């Protein structure tokens, strides 16, 4: 963060610390409400180990249809598959139904201050059955299964409003999952055994039929066969028959291997064919993929290192695919070669059979029947052997998943954590309050930039003389908090501020005297401001006192009949004054006016109050009596200061400005808009009213010690 911005943020937070504190309290309140409304949840975790099976044990690959597919291997792909199975609705649904039927209704534990507050607010559910149903539903919704990195362990976890329910749910789910795995294995073994049993019965029936045909042929044909004695043709036929059977078995085996190699997943192929090159390529590709995943946590896919790994992976993938194609091609070649040899052997066998048929049709027929019997007998023996292996394999325990640590009920609340929620609420409130404060301060500064702030601005913008600058006085905290405006009659809170204020008005007097050296004659001056609340009444009263200090006979005229604050300031509210003079028909002379003018001994200032309120203000000020009153006052006093309503809102200042010697315009620092001051300046110029000058009121210097010298001199004066 730039230093300037840091300074700005720090200053904003100091200035708006109560707003930030209020937002923090609001965040804490909201967090507390969340804690009260949200029921506590308890975590339960069960861990499972996925164990691999030796598929070569008892030649299981020959009798298990899933052998070689990776279903029994504890690799990452299989573990991820098992995680999805555990999270499936088909497994969770029965567990939820069973728990709804079998779980005894019970209320969750109610301990701690939050629980007491929830019970006090009647937010506690007293129905044990409904509470248990909700606890089971929450456990079902929050179930998660994940693999512990680098292990074969699967962690099953869930949260529930009842710790007993959460533990029972994950334990029941784990038990059902293990039972399902064992059931699937048993079902596969049963199906395999049933299929082999059917094949065995069919082969037995075919063998019996073939043997019956052979015996019937021998009996009817009278072929001389004694034991194992055979002719030369029979001997050759026997050899060819054995070779052909072996070739058929080899063709079947190679066809089986070709199908397995062709359909096997790429990652399982090296283990099936036991190919070192494929294992090497696969291992290197996995290493590069892990390295690439690590790099992607810090780099983008477009980075050179990542691209280099992608190129290496592509090269290895190409080599792997090529080796895989070569392996498949080799097995396909072996199969084609076996088919070719079987075809050749069948041709040789057919030729020898034709020879035997030519020599003796009966011997040929006998040989064919005997060969059929021998082939069926070999098939029967092979199927019988596989049936025995399948029976043994199905009888072996094949539980590939076991429970490592069952879940137990926990008394610790997993969510929401009181400290975490409260800290997050406080932090969120702090951030939100800081953002609000920053926005408000920025907006205030933007508005402030369009207002008068520093001395000298009135001279440059309005092209008028700046008579003086009145410093700001810190108002009492009680009035500031209540929004009550702070006004005084040169009686500020501290002696230092009083000395500065007096000297500021003496500077205005010096400017007036220097500007108009003929102040020895009566002078009429209107004191006004562009808008309300800019301090014109206070300026007029204090300026009158400052003029009285130099020996001037000063009169304050309250011409603000709508809001006579000057009367309130001098405690003359309700006294007869200007409105009575203008509305009566009595002749205007010094004696008559003297009866209405009051003298304030403390300020050494004379005052003509506003008088009674009236709705005929415009008529009174436009009357000829107003001019007569001013002429009479000009003769009686050295200086007459007339307090009027705001210039831009009411016409009194403009009316009186044409009858007097000029107007003093009061501008409030940080409050008066520059556009309002320009409008007032333009209005006075259009009326050809003399603008004596401007006074900048309520100026707040950037440095608090800017007027320390005044305090020093003030103490010396005393």
Q: What pLDDT score was predicted for residue 686?
A: 92
Going from N- to C-terminal start, the domains of the chain cover 3-186+410-430, 220-403, 467-717
- In 31-128, DSSP assigns E strands to 41-50
Res 498 pLDDT > 80: no
Read off the pLDDT of each residue in 630-643 and give the average, rounded to a whole number. 91
Read off the pLDDT of each residue in 630-635 and give the average, rounded to a whole number. 90
In this predicted model, what pLDDT tens digit does every residue of 575-585 receive, in sequence order?
888 888 888 88
In this predicted model, what pLDDT tens digit does every residue of 29-58 receive, in sequence order?
888 777 776 778 888 999 988 876 655 555
Per-residue burial over 252-271, b if 16 or more Cβ lie within 10 Å, else e, is eebbeebebbeebeebbbbb
Which DSSP helix (H) or strand (E) runs through 459?
Answer: helix 457-462
- Compute the distance between CA of residue 459 and CA of residue 684 in angstroms, rounded to an integer: 16
In this predicted model, what pLDDT tens digit does every residue of 458-469 receive, in sequence order?
788 888 888 888
Q: What pLDDT score was predicted for residue 709?
A: 46
In this predicted model, what pLDDT tens digit does every residue of 282-295 receive, in sequence order?
888 888 888 888 88
Res 714 pLDDT > 80: no
In this predicted model, what pLDDT tens digit does every residue of 418-435 receive, in sequence order?
778 788 888 888 888 888
Among residues of the chain, what percentage have pLDDT more than 90?
11
Res 397 pLDDT > 60: no
Read off the pLDDT of each residue in 269-274 and give the average, rounded to a whole number. 73
Could you tell me which of 356, 345, 434 has the C-alpha nearest to residue 14? 434
Q: What pLDDT score was predicted for residue 528?
A: 94
Res 606 pLDDT > 90: yes
Lowest pLDDT segment from 120-129, 306-315, 338-347: 120-129
Q: Is 499 within 8 Å of 679 (Cβ atoms)?
A: no
Read off the pLDDT of each residue in 61-81 and give the average, rounded to a whole number. 64
Which DSSP helix (H) or strand (E) runs through 671?
Answer: none
Among residues of the chain, what percentage have pLDDT more than 70?
78
Is pLDDT larger for residue 226 or for residue 595?
595
| Sheet strands side by side (includes 605-608) | 466-471, 691-699, 662-668, 523-528, 639-643, 554-558, 605-608, 598-600
Read off the pLDDT of each residue in 622-642 and give the average, rounded to a whole number. 90
Could you tell me which of 356, 384, 415, 348 has the C-alpha nearest to residue 161? 415
Res 482 pLDDT > 50: no
Res 643 pLDDT > 90: yes
Lowest pLDDT segment from 144-148, 256-260, 386-390: 386-390
Lowest pLDDT segment from 112-121, 374-383, 568-577: 112-121
Could you tell me which of 111, 164, 162 has the C-alpha nearest to residue 134? 162
Res 545 pLDDT > 60: yes
User: ω into residue 350 within 30 of 0, thus cis?
Assistant: no
Tokens 């194992």 belong to which residue?
A: 228
Backbone angles phi, psi at 65, to 5 degrees: -65, -25
CA 201 to each of CA 194, 198, 208, 459: distance values in angstroms, whole numbers, following the listed order: 11, 5, 11, 119
In this predicted model, what pLDDT tens digit does every residue of 678-694 receive, in sequence order?
999 999 999 999 998 99
DSSP 8-state symbol, 207: H
Q: What pLDDT score was predicted for residue 70?
A: 54
Res 189 pLDDT > 80: no
Q: What pLDDT score was predicted for residue 310?
A: 84
In this predicted model, what pLDDT tens digit does every residue of 213-259 receive, in sequence order?
888 877 776 555 544 445 555 667 778 778 878 888 888 888 887 78
Q: What pLDDT score was predicted for residue 683?
A: 92
Q: Please tell me the class of the 467-717 domain.
A: alpha beta
Q: Is 13 within 8 Å of 441 (Cβ atoms)?
A: no
In this predicted model, what pLDDT tens digit does every residue of 406-419 receive, in sequence order?
988 876 777 777 77
Q: What pLDDT score was predicted for residue 478?
A: 38
Q: What pLDDT score was predicted for residue 443?
A: 73
Spell out the residues 6+ positions from residue 468 whose beta carbon is closer than 8 angstroms to its own: 504, 505, 507, 508, 511, 695, 696
Instruction: Extract the tokens encoding 143.
Output: 């179930």
Q: What pLDDT score was predicted for residue 229?
A: 43
CA 328 to each of CA 250, 316, 336, 469: distance values in angstroms, whole numbers, following the listed order: 17, 18, 12, 99
Q: pLDDT grade, residue 490 (50/70/90)?
A: very low
Tokens 């506003």 belong to which residue?
A: 610
Q: How many CB atoms lie within 10 A of CB 446?
A: 9
pTM: 0.44
- Compute the distance between CA of residue 576 and CA of residue 597 in angstroms, rounded to an integer: 9
User: ω into residue 416 within 30 of 0, thus cis?
Assistant: yes
Res 480 pLDDT > 50: no
Q: Which 3 state secondary structure label does DSSP give 430?
A: helix
Q: Return mean pLDDT, the chain.
A: 78
Instruction: Extract the tokens encoding 316.
Output: 């290895």
Tokens 């099936």 belong to which residue?
A: 272
Is pLDDT larger for residue 515 or for residue 207?
207
Q: What pLDDT score was predicted for residue 495?
A: 47
Res 718 pLDDT > 50: no
Could you tell me which of 279, 463, 244 has the C-alpha nearest to residue 353? 244
Q: What pLDDT score was predicted for residue 3?
A: 62
Q: What pLDDT score was predicted for residue 245?
A: 84
Instruction: Extract the tokens encoding 270.
Output: 């090296």
Res 481 pLDDT > 50: no
């Amino acid at each position: 963060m730039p230093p300037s911005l840091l300074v700005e943020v720090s200053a904003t937070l100091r200035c708006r610390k109560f707003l930030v504190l209020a937002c923090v309290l609001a965040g804490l309140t909201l967090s507390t409400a969340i804690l009260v409304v949200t029921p506590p949840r308890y975590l339960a975790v069960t861990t499972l180990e996925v164990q691999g099976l030796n598929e070569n044990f008892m030649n299981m690959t020959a009798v298990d249809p899933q052998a070689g597919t990776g279903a029994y291997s504890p690799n990452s792909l299989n573990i991820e598959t098992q995680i999805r199975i555990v999270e499936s609705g088909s497994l969770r649904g029965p567990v939820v139904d069973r728990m709804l039927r079998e779980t005894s209704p019970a209320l969750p534990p109610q301990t701690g201050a939050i629980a007491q507050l929830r019970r006090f607010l009647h937010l506690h559910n007293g129905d044990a059955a409904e509470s248990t149903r909700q606890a089971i539903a929450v456990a079902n919704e929050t179930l998660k299964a994940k693999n512990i990195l680098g292990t074969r362990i699967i962690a099953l976890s869930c949260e529930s409003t009842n710790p007993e329910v959460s533990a029972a749910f994950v334990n029941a789910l784990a038990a059902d999952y293990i039972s399902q795995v064992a059931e699937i294995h048993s079902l596969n073994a049963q199906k395999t055994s049933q299929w082999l049993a059917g094949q065995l019965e069919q082969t037995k029936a075919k063998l019996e039929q073939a043997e019956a045909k052979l015996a019937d042929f021998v009996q009817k044909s009278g072929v001389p066969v004694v034991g194992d004695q055979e002719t030369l043709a029979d001997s050759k036929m026997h050899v060819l028959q054995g070779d052909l059977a072996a070739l058929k078995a080899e063709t079947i085996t190679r066809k089986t291997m070709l199908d397995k190699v062709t359909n096997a997943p790429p990652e399982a192929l090296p283990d099936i064919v036991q190919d070192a090159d494929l294992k090497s390529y696969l291992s290197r590709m996995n290493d590069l993929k892990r390295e690439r995943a690590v790099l992607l946590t810090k780099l983008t896919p477009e980075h050179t290192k990542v691209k280099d790994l992608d190129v290496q992976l592509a090269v290895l993938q190409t080599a792997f695919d090529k080796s895989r194609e070569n392996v498949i091609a080799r097995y396909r070649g072996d199969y084609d070669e076996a088919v070719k040899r079987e075809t050749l052997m069948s041709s040789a066998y057919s030729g020898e059979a034709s020879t035997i048929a030519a020599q003796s049709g009966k011997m040929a027929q006998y040989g064919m029947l005997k060969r059929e019997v021998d082939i069926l007998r070999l098939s029967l023996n092979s199927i019988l052997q596989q049936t025995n292996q399948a029976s043994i394999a199905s009888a072996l325990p094949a539980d590939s998943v076991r429970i490592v640590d069952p879940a137990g009920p926990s008394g610790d609340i997993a969510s929401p954590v009181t400290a975490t929620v409260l800290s997050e609420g406080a932090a969120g409130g702090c951030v939100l309050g800081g953002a609000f404060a920053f926005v408000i301060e920025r907006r205030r500064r933007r508005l402030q930039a369009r207002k008068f702030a520093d001395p000298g601005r009135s001279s440059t913008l309005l092209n008028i003389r700046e008579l003086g600058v009145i410093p700001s006085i810190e108002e009492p905290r009680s009035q500031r908090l209540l929004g009550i405006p702070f006004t005084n009659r040169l009686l500020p809170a501290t002696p230092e501020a009083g000395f500065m204020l007096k000297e500021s008005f003496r500077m205005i007097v010096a400017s007036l005297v220097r500007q108009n050296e003929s102040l020895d004659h009566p002078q009429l001056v209107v004191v006004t401001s562009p808008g309300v609340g800019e301090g014109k009444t206070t300026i007029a009263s204090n300026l009158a006192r400052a003029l009285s200090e130099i020996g001037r006979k000063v009169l304050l005229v309250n011409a603000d009949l709508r809001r006579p604050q000057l009367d309130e300031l001098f405690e003359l509210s309700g006294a007869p004054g200007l409105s009575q003079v203008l509305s009566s028909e009595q002749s205007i002379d010094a004696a008559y006016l003297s009866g209405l003018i009051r003298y304030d001994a403390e300020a050494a200032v004379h005052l003509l109050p506003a008088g009674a309120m009236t709705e005929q203000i415009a008529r009174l000020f436009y009357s000829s009596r107003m001019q007569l009153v001013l002429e009479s006052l000009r003769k009686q006093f050295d200086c007459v200061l007339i307090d009027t309503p705001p210039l831009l809102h009411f016409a009194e200042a403009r009316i009186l400005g044409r009858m007097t010697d000029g107007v003093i315009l009061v501008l409030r620092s940080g409050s008066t808009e520059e556009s309002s001051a320009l409008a007032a300046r333009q209005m006075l110029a259009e009326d050809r009213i003399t603008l004596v000058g401007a006074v900048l009121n309520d100026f707040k210097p950037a440095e608090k010690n800017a007027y320390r010298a005044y305090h020093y001199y003030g103490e010396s004066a005393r």
